[in-house]
Amino acid sequence: MKNLIEKYWEDMLTAITTQDKVKITQHFAKNATYKFRPADGMMDIAIEDMAAGCLSYKNTLDGGKNIERIDQLKDGSWVSIITSSVSKKPYFITSYFKFEGDKIKELTEYYGDFG
């Protein structure tokens, strides 16, 4: 699964650069769920909408997404910690993955900045 997560992040960066939403959505199972926690609580977002939102970073992403770590948790799910910079502001994403075969079944993310 570690290789699948690394490939997901690699494809995410390529997708932002090339504006290819399929590069992102191809990693998800048919009925996958995506949740993220902005400042005001947890939100459920459709995979297509999440991918479209990611593409909007094309002109503000200052560099790649650096994988700081990927680990398997005791419950069988996986976690990755990514750092990057948007509009010269460093931030991190902590992502929790659950898989169905080789596809992401559930992705829950927490965003934060270093400011």
CATH code: domain of residue 16: 3.10.450.50
Global pTM reads 0.88
Where b means 16+ CB within 10 Å and e means fewer, 65-75 reads: beeeebeeeee
Domain containing 78 equals 2-113
For residue 39, the model assigns a pLDDT of 66
- Please count the structural domains in the chain: 1
Q: What are the pLDDT tens digits along the chain (115 aa)?
A: 999 999 999 999 889 889 999 999 999 999 999 998 866 778 899 999 999 988 888 777 776 678 999 999 999 999 999 988 878 888 888 999 999 999 999 999 988 776 6
Looking at residue 60, what is its pLDDT? 74
Contact criterion met (CB below 8 Å) for 93 and 82: yes
